[in-house]
Chains A and B, each alone.
Chain A
Amino acid sequence: MRQLFIYFSIALFLIIMLVAPAIAAKIKHRGSVYTDKVGMALKHPEGVACGDDSFIVADTGNSRIVRYSMTVQGLLPGAVLPLAESVPLVIQLNSKGDIYFLEGKTRTIIKMSGDGQIMGKIEPQKVPMPKAYIPRSFKLDKQDNLYLLDIFSERVLVLNAAEEYVRQLPFPKGYRFFSDLAISPQGVIYLLDSVAGTLYVADPGAAAFELLSGDLKEHMNFPVSLAIDSKGTLYLSDQYGSGLALVGKDGSFQGRKFGMGWEDGQLYYPAQVCINPQDTLIIADRNNSRVQVFNILEK
C-alpha cells in the first residue's frame, strides 16, 4: 500500500511537471483599442505604459500620446496629447502621472506633464565618465528612479527623480545587443539581449549583471520589449515572432502566448509591453495599429 502511494506521488509529480508550463500564466483577452475618442485610428503604436486603472499609448505613426481608462464599461479613450513631429517609441509613467517617452528621432528621453506640457528632455546630472549616453530604452521604478539602457557607453545608468546620477552597471561581457530592460518591484534589473535571445539579471545592489537564461532563441525570434508580472514572470515581446515568450524568474522558458494574425488575441509585430500591479497585460500591437489588453489570471 505504501509502495503504491509512492508510485502515485511520483506519477502525480511528473504530470504536474509536464503540464505546469502549459497552465502557467493563463491570459485572457479583455479588449482592444483601435481609435481615440473622436474615432481617429491608431497608427503603428510602439509604446504602452500602465497605470492602475488606465494606460497611455505612444501612437507613434500619428506622433501623439493617447490616454485610455480601464473601467467596467470597457476601455475608454481619453485625452490626446499631440507631439509635434516626434517619434515616441518607448513610454513610461511616473508615480505623479508625468509621462516620459523615448523620442526616436533625437534618441532622447522627453518628460511631459500629465496634461501634455513638455517639461524638457532628461539631462543626467553628475554622471561619471564616460559622459556620453544614448538610450535604447528606459524604465522607471516605484520611487521614480530612471533606469536608462545606454547602448553607447554600454551600461545601465540609474538616475533619481531629480535626474541625478545614482549608480551605473556595466553591460556584461559577451552580450550581442540589448533592446530593453525591466525592473522588478524589489529592484532587480533584467536585461534583454534581442540578438542572443538571452536575459541577464542584477540583484539590488549588485555591481554586475549575470546571465539568467541560456539561449532562448529556439523559442523566440527577435524579442524587443520586456515586462514583469507580480509573480516575477518575465514577458518578452517577440517582435519578429509575433508573440510573447514567458520566462520564469529563474530563467526557465515557460511557454509562448499568442500567434501571428490580425484577429483580436493575435499579434502582428508587437512592440512595447507593460503589466500593471493588478497583472493587466497591455501590448502595443504595432503592425495591427492597435493596443490589446489582457488579464493575467491566477495559475
Chain B
Amino acid sequence: MTAMRLRETIIILLLIGLTLSFSAAFAQAEGKFKLKPGATGKLCLSCHTTFSAKMSAKYIHTPLVEGACSGCHNPHASNHGMLMEGDADSICYKCHDNIVADGAVSVHQVVVEGKCVSCHDPHSSDNPANLVKGGNDLCFNCHKELGEKIASNKYGHPPVKKDCLNCHNSHASGKNVSLLKMDEPKLCLSCHKTNSSGFKKSHVNYPVEQKRCTTCHDPHGSSSGAILADNIHAPIKNGMCNQCHNEADAEQPFALKKSGFELCQGCHYEMINESFGKNRLHWPLVDKTGCINCHTPHASAEESLLRKPMKEVCGSCHADILARQDRSQTKHQPVDDGECTVCHSPHASNQLFLQKEATTIATCAQCHDWQTHSTHPIGAEVIDPRNPNLALDCLSCHRTHGTEYKQFLYYPDVKSLCVQCHTKYRR
C-alpha cells in the first residue's frame, strides 16, 4: 500500500515538473506578445519615430537599450496612463526592488510615493542614472526654498554648494535621519578637524565634538559667521555658554545649571513672570523640559529661536488640530500657514485656548470684519437658543481649525446650521 502511494506521488511530481519546464520553454521561444523574431523594440520605434532622439542620449534605461518596451508598457491595452503595464508609482520596483533597505530610518518622500520620474527620466537622459537634471538643480526642483536660501546665504557651506549628495543619500538612509549618510557629529567630523587651537577657542573650550553641530550651525549655510543659524541666542553669540552650562573644564561640562523654566528665568524673568501672572499657562512651559519644548537654546533658522517652523512645533503636540485643518474643505489661513500666534498666546493667557484677545469675537475681528461678513446678531447679549449659558459668537457656527464642511461650519450646509437654532424652519 505504501509503495503504491509513493509511486503515485513520484508520477504526480514528474508531471508537474514536465509541465513547468514545457511552459517556460514555450514562453521563451515565443515571447510574451509572440512577436516575430527581431521585432522587439524596433517594431515600437517604427511608429514612435520621434523617440529616436531619446535613443541618442548619453544614458539610456537598460530595457530601452534592449528594446524591451513591453517591460514597462503594454502594447495593446492598459488600465494605466501611457499604456503602462502597472501603476506608475510602483512599476519601477518590479526591477529596482532594492532601492530602500529594510528598516531604513529615513526614506525620501518621492521614493515613498513611488514618484521616481520626479528625478529620473524613465527612457534616457544626458545625466548619470537618467536624472532629469544634473547636480543640485535637481534637488532644488522640489526643495526650492532651500535652494534660494543656499544661493542667498552670506556664508555658504562649500560641500552643500557642490553637491547635496556629499551629505545625503538620494533614496534612503538605513541608519540616519534626513537621508544623512552618517549621523552627527561623525558626518561633520569627516571634514572638520577638532584638535586645532582655533576650533577649541571658537567653542570656548567646550568639547562640542561630542555633540550635534546642528544645534548651533546651519549645515546649509547662513548669513551669520561660522554658519551659525540665523537667529542666535545671545549667550552663544557672546561665547557665554557657562551662563547655562557648567564650566568647560567641569566633569559634566554640558550639564545645565538649573532645570526647565528656572534656567531661562534668570534672563527672561519679565516674560516668565508675566506668564505666571496669567490665569492659564501653557503647561509644557513648566514641565521638566520647559522652554526648550518649543525653543532651541542655541541658534535656529526660525524666529524666536523656535526649534522648527511654528506649524511643526505646535503640531508636534496638537497634531489633531493640523489633521482637522488638512481634512477641512476650507482652509483657515493662519492655521494653514502655521501662524498659530495670530490667535493664541503660546506662553500664557487669561482666556480659554490661550487666546490672545479677551473674546472670540475680538480674536476673529483681528482679520474679519463681521459686519461685512454677516449681519447675524452676535455678542454677549445674544443668547444661544441651544444653551442658555452661552452667548452667540463666531464659534457658535464655525470651528476655527476646520471641519469636513465648507467655511468651517459644523454642519454640511448653511440650512442645516441655521435650523439648529431656528427650529421652526426644520423639516
A: residues with CB less than 8 A from B are 34-35, 41-44, 87, 104-105, 107, 130, 132, 134, 136, 151-154, 176-177, 179, 195, 217, 221-222, 240-241, 260, 262-263, 269, 286-290
Contact = CB atoms under 8 A, between A and B. Distances in A.
Given A240-B321, A241-B320, A151 B384 contact: no
A221 B317 contact: no
Interface in B281-304: 281, 283-284, 286-288
12 contacts: A41-B388, A87-B279, A87-B280, A105-B276, A154-B287, A176-B317, A177-B284, A177-B317, A222-B320, A262-B386, A287-B352, A289-B389
A20 to B, nearest CB: 27
Contacts of B410: 260
B386 A151 contact: no
A199 B283 CA distance: 19
A262 B321 contact: no
B240 interface: no
Contacts of A217: 319-320
A154 B320 CA distance: 25
A288 B389 contact: yes
B390 A221 contact: no
A269 B262 CA distance: 32
B389 to A, nearest CB: 4
**Size range of the interface on B?**
20 to 34
Given A104-B280, A176-B317, A152 B288 contact: yes
Contacts of A195: 317
Nearest to B279: A87
A101 B43 CA distance: 84
B390 A151 contact: no
B175 interface: no
B390 A288 contact: yes
Contacts of A134: 286-287
B283 A151 contact: yes
Interface in B363-402: 384, 386-390
B174 to A, nearest CB: 23
B41 interface: no
A105 B277 contact: yes
Contacts of B277: 105
B318 interface: yes
A262 B287 contact: no
Given A132-B259, A177-B283, A43 B386 contact: no
B317 A34 contact: no
Interface string B258-279: 0110100000000000001111
Q: Which of B318, B384, B387 has the most CB of A within 10 A?
A: B387
Contact of B390 (A107, A136, A262): A262
B286 A221 contact: no
A31 B260 CA distance: 44
Given A152-B288, A195-B317, A240-B320, A136 B283 contact: yes
